[in-house]
Amino acid sequence: MTLKKTSVFARIFRAQVLVGALGFTVLFLLGQTVYALSLIYGVGLMVVGAWWLALRLGNTRDLGVEAAQRFLYAGAALRFMALMAGLLLAHLIGLHLLLVAAGMFVAQAVVFISAAKEFKKEGKGEGLG
């Protein structure tokens, strides 16, 4: 993974954590502690999943095309199983699953918006990063 791509991933992770922390703070200040914890838990699930994907992408550079595809598909299956285990844990510890899902949505929206900005930069010839 190149330094520029690494910095893009780092910016996305920071943005996800910042937005999650902002949502957590607002809900906590409103006295909604369980909702705040649920939201940040959902954001955390997505941040960990994105970090895991970034690591796997970095490990594919020395593989052939077919081997890289198998490696990424296996990683997707593992991330899905980890996500299901994370949701089960959220339920078992009493978090509000709708707010967990909202946190997951917010984290993914940050990825989408960040990626759109990066593609726009690339389209203007500024490159990634």
Quick one: tokens of 65? 């095309």
pLDDT per residue of the chain (129 residues) written in tens, 0 to 9: 444 556 777 888 899 999 999 999 999 999 999 999 999 999 999 999 888 887 877 777 777 778 777 777 888 888 999 999 999 999 999 999 999 999 999 999 998 998 888 777 776 765 555
Task: Please state the three-class secondary structure of 58-89 as a single string.
Answer: HCCCCCCHHHHHHHHHHHHHHHHHHHHHHHHH
41 close to 103: Cβ distance less than 8 angstroms = yes
CB neighbourhood size of 2 (10 A): 11
